[in-house]
Structure 1
Amino acid sequence: MSIGEVLTLLQEEFPDVTISKIRFLESQGLIDPERTPSGYRKFYGTDIERLRWILTQQRENFLPLKVIKDRLADGSPDAPAGPDSASGTGPAGSTGPLPFSPDGGSDPAPAAAPASATGTGSGGTAASAGSKVRASMPAGELDDADRPQPIWMADLAKSGRGGAEAPRARKVQLSAEVTEVNLTAAELQAAAGLTEESLRELEKFGLVVGRAMGDDTYYDGDALVIARKAASFIDHGIGARHLRMYKVAAEREAGFLEQLAMPLLKQRNPEARRQAVELVEELADHGHDLRAALLRANLRKHLDRA
C-alpha cells in the first residue's frame, strides 16, 4: 500500500491522522516502511497494524512517543510484532505486500483491513476473558476505579513535572527528558481540561507554544504543565491575558540567568556546557525558593492588613 492508501484506510478510525503525521512517526523511528527503488514507501499489513496500535496509544492513553517506542522495542504484550517477526511481513495469511501504487497514485482494489491491536478483527472474537485489560478497550467497559492511568501522567511524574510525589534534587531541570511528551491539540485539551477556545487564548498570549511538524502541531511536556496550571486559573474566571505576568517574569529571569551562564557557554566544550547547566539549574532553584518566600511575605502582609 502507498502512504495515501494507508491514510484512506485509517482516517475513518483516526480522523486526525494525516500524511505528515505518518511521515513524522517514521522520522521518529516508530514505523519503518519499505522503500521502492524510486523512493516510494511500501506499507505491509504488519506496518499498518503497528501504525494503528501507535495511534491508539496516542489517542487513548496520551503515550509520549519515547514510551511507545520503548514498548515496541521491549515487545510489550499488547504491542504488535515488528515487520521482521516470524509471523511474516504481509497481511494475515499472506507473505506478500498489500496492493501498492506510488504515493498519491490510483487506488487498486481495496484490501481487507488487518486485525487491530485490540485483539479483534472484522468478525473476530475478543481476547479471552482472563486476559489483561487493554489500553485500547472502550471506556465504557471499565469502572473508573479500574481504568488504567494514562501513561503520560507516569511519564511526567518520572520527569518531575507531575507533582510532589516524584521528588528530585532540582526543582528546575533542563534535561530533554522533561519535554518528551508529544501531544496533538485535541490530546492537550483533554489532558489539561481545556476547551479549544481556551487553548487558542493561551497560544495567542504566548503562554502555550506548539511545535509545527508538517500540517500538524505537537505540544511537549512543558506545554502540558503550563496548560494544566493555566486551566486552574481559568476555572476561577482568570483569563489568559492576566497570566502574561508569569510569562514576562519568567522571560526576564531566563534572560538574567543566560547572561550569567554566557561566559561558560562561549567556551564551546562539553565540560563548560555541563557547568553552565548546573549553574543555571542551581540559581533557578534558589530563585524558585526566593520567589516563593517573597510571595508568602507579601501575601501575609496583605492578608493581615485586611
Structure 2
Amino acid sequence: MSIGAVLAQLRAEFPDVTISKIRFLESEGLVSPGRTQSGYRQFTAADVARLRYVLAAQRDHYLPLKVIKEQLDAADEGTVPDPGVPRPPRQLVSVGAPPSAEDFAADTGNRLTQEQLLERAGIDKPMLAELEQYGLIRAGAAGFFDEEAVIVARTVRKMTEYGIEPRHLRAFRASADREVGLLEQIVTPLYRQRDPDSRARADEVVRELAALSVSLHTLLVKAGIREVGGS
C-alpha cells in the first residue's frame, strides 16, 4: 500500500493522523515500510497493524514513543505477546475519563456557556467567580468554556468537601503555568521551523513531555504523602 492508502485506512479510527505523522513514526523506528525502485514507500498489512497499535497506545494508554518502541521490539523478538494485544494503561489519577497524549495536542472544540458549565459541574455562580479569580478556570476570548473547565470545577468542588477553598489552590495554577512555560521553551524552536516534519515532531515532543510531566507530578505527590504519613 502507498502511504496515502495507509492514511485512508487509519483516519477512520484516528482522525488526527497525517502523512507527516506516519513519516515521523517511521523516522523514529516504529515502522519500516519497504521501498519501490523509485523510492516510494510500500506498506504491508503488518505495517498498518503496527501503526494502529502505536496510535492506540498513545491515545488510549498514554505511552511515550520510547516505551511503545520497546514493546514492539520485544514483540518482534517473541518475548512479549503480539503488539496487537492491548496492554494495561498507565495508572494515572484523574477525575472523569483518563487523559491520552492526544488530549494535550488540541482543544476538543466543544464550547459551553456559563449556564451549561454550572449545570454540568454542579457549582454555583459565586464558586465559579472564585475559580476564575484564582485562575483555575479561564473562559475563552468569546466567553465560552471548554470540557476541561467542567472537570476542573468538579475536582475543586470535591476538594471543598475537605475544607479546601479555591484560594488555597492558586499554587496549582502557578505550578501548571511554570510547567507549560518550560515545555514552551523546548518546543518553540521546532514550531518555528518551516519543515512540515518539524511541526509533527514538535507536536509529538510536547505531548510526550506533557505525559512525563503529569507522571512526575504524581510521583512527587505520592512521595510527599508517604512522608506526611510517616511511612
Shorter-normalised TM range: 0.5 to 0.7
Q: Does 1:163 align with 2:97?
A: yes
Structure with greater helix percent: 2
After superposition, give the CA deviation of every residue in 1:167-220 in whole Å (9 maximum; x if it has no partner).
Answer: 74x28522232xx2211111111111111100011111111111243xxx3111
Q: 4+ residue runs of structure 1 moved beyond 6 angstroms?
A: none
User: What residue is the counterpart of 1:175 in the other structure?
Assistant: 106
Please give the alpha-carbon distance, in whole angstroms, between the structure 2 residues aligned to 1:189 and 1:236: 21
User: What residue is the counterpart of 2:190 in the other structure?
Assistant: 264
Q: Residues 234 and 202 from structure 1, CA distance in 2 versus in 1: closer, same or farther, beyond 3 angstroms?
A: same
Q: Residues 176 and 231 from structure 1, CA distance in 2 versus in 1: closer, same or farther, beyond 3 angstroms?
A: same
What are the residue-to-residue correspondences of 1:53-64 with 2, within 5 Å? none
Q: Does 1:205 align with 2:134?
A: yes
User: What residue is the counterpart of 2:123 in the other structure?
Assistant: 194
Please give the alpha-carbon distance, in whole angstroms, between the structure 2 residues aligned to 1:292 and 1:264: 28
Contact 2:136 2:152 in 1 (8 A): yes
Amino acid at match of 2:228: H
Amino acid at match of 1:248: A
Contact 1:264 1:273 in 2 (8 A): yes
- Choose 1 or 2 for highest CA Rg: 1
Amino acid at match of 1:173: F
1:161 shift after superposition: 7.8
Contact 2:95 2:155 in 1 (8 A): no
User: What residue is the counterpart of 1:237 in the other structure?
Assistant: 163
Query: TM-score w.r.t. structure 1 length?
Result: 0.42
User: What residue is the counterpart of 2:84 in the other structure?
Assistant: none
What are the residue-to-residue correspondences of 1:52-131 with 2, within 5 Å? none
Aligned-residue Cα RMSD (Å) equals: 2.2
1:280 shift after superposition: 0.9
What are the residue-to-residue correspondences of 1:221-236 with 2, within 5 Å? 221-236=147-162
User: What residue is the counterpart of 2:26 in the other structure?
Assistant: none
Secondary structure (helix, strand or coil) at the match of 2:224 reads helix
Q: Residues 208 and 275 from structure 1, CA distance in 2 versus in 1: closer, same or farther, beyond 3 angstroms?
A: same
Give unmatched runs, 5+ long, in structure 1: 1-159
Please give the alpha-carbon distance, in whole angstroms, between the structure 2 residues aligned to 1:186 and 1:269: 43
Q: Residues 252 and 270 from structure 1, CA distance in 2 versus in 1: closer, same or farther, beyond 3 angstroms?
A: same
Secondary structure (helix, strand or coil) at the match of 2:188 reads helix
Count of residue correspondences = 138
Amino acid at match of 1:186: E
Query: TM-score w.r.t. structure 2 length?
Result: 0.55
Q: Residues 280 and 212 from structure 1, CA distance in 2 versus in 1: closer, same or farther, beyond 3 angstroms?
A: closer
1:235 shift after superposition: 2.7
Which structure would you say has the larger RCO, counting Cα contacts within 8 Å and 6 or more residues apart?
2
